[in-house]
Homo-oligomer: A and B are copies of this chain.
């Protein structure tokens, strides 16, 4: 199955945590402390500072010590990601229609990524932890009563989640650009604007772009795109309800 069984070890750590050692001295720290330190390092000093040595220094231990808690850096990252997911509220516990709830969790997911940009780099679909699992489970249940079966609900959930993730890098880049320049924010990421202002391409070369008046921001396109996507889902749900009404025997 997975590479060489190494993934099992990481998944075991994610799901069951680190067992107390049978023999020898006990651990000085907990995995939670380790993950917490790593998350703070990433938040405060950026992804670049997320090195084993730096995290170890934060905890006042040697770098090699971390490897008795976690098999490798990738495992630490997986733990960070799953911990982060565990901090956002479960979608199905929110009030409102499926659409309101989906819009809410999509916005929350985007907000989480913007607040902790390291999540983008960290995210690895090979390691699905218990929190990610529970989150997905909850998101599926948002569609209870819509006529969609589980498989279809999961399709919607992953489609929307994929949509969010696709727009995250652009939104983050925009956030960073905005933080650098005086706030008269345009899209095209500031540096491009400045560059194109001096190196303006000859007229007629890019006729499509010349029709732009007020280019949408990354947040605009994300929200518009999400709206369209959910419009499409709405059609799909209406369609499946119609089929249901047509033949009431077919209850799946």
Contacts and interface: CB of A to CB of B under 8 A. Distances in A.
Contacts of A192: 11, 126, 128
A159 B215 contact: no
**Most chain B beta carbons < 10 A, residue from A12, A159, A224:** A159
A167 B166 contact: yes
A212 interface: yes
A126 B15 contact: no
Q: Report whether over half of chain A's contact residues are helix, strand or loop; otherwise say mixed.
A: helix
**Most chain B beta carbons < 10 A, residue from A92, A225, A233:** A225
Nearest to A220: B155
Contacts of A191: 1-2, 7-8, 11, 126
A137 interface: yes
**Most chain B beta carbons < 10 A, residue from A134, A162, A224:** A162
Interface string A146-160: 000111011100111
A189 interface: yes
A180 interface: yes
Nearest to A222: B162
Interface stretch (A49-57, A93-101, A202-210): A202-210
Interface stretch (A35-43, A59-67, A80-88, A193-201): A193-201
A117 to B, nearest CB: 13
30 contacts: A3-B180, A8-B194, A11-B195, A16-B199, A92-B208, A125-B173, A126-B177, A128-B189, A133-B209, A134-B206, A136-B208, A136-B209, A138-B208, A140-B209, A140-B211, A141-B207, A150-B208, A150-B209, A153-B211, A154-B215, A155-B225, A158-B225, A159-B222, A162-B167, A162-B221, A165-B166, A165-B169, A166-B167, A228-B229, A228-B236
